[in-house]
Amino acid sequence: MEIGSDVILAVKTEIENMPVKYKFIALLWYFEEFTVVDISNILNIPEEIVEIRIDKVESMIRPTILVEGMTSARKYSKHFPVVVSKAFDLIIKSYQMPAETESRIYVNILNTCLS
């Protein structure tokens, strides 16, 4: 199944509108594919909080994906991480910093979110 650009754009918008604490969790979990333990260490928060925030991110994005046409639970669970990762690709490209290091990109994303 090809993931439509309308689904990815809708998820991109949803991510951009998330509170920063969820946006950064989504970036580390879905885009960078860090483990819960890694994210816990990076953000200096308990693993349980990381898991709760991952669940919250999914609950924020799920309605957007379902509305945009992924009505099958099987399709949804299979493609959810791919859709979120592709949405982050678009977000990062929108910052137009291809030569920047990853850490610099993260800093710019966070600064933008906080401003």
**pLDDT tens, position by position, 32-73:** 888 999 989 888 899 999 999 999 998 888 777 766 555 544
pLDDT of residue 1: 44
pLDDT of residue 54: 92
CA–CA–CA angle 33, 112, 34 (5° rounding): 10
Question: What pTM value is reported for the model?
Answer: 0.67
Higher pLDDT, 74 or 61: 61
Whether 12 has a pLDDT exceeding 70, the answer reads yes
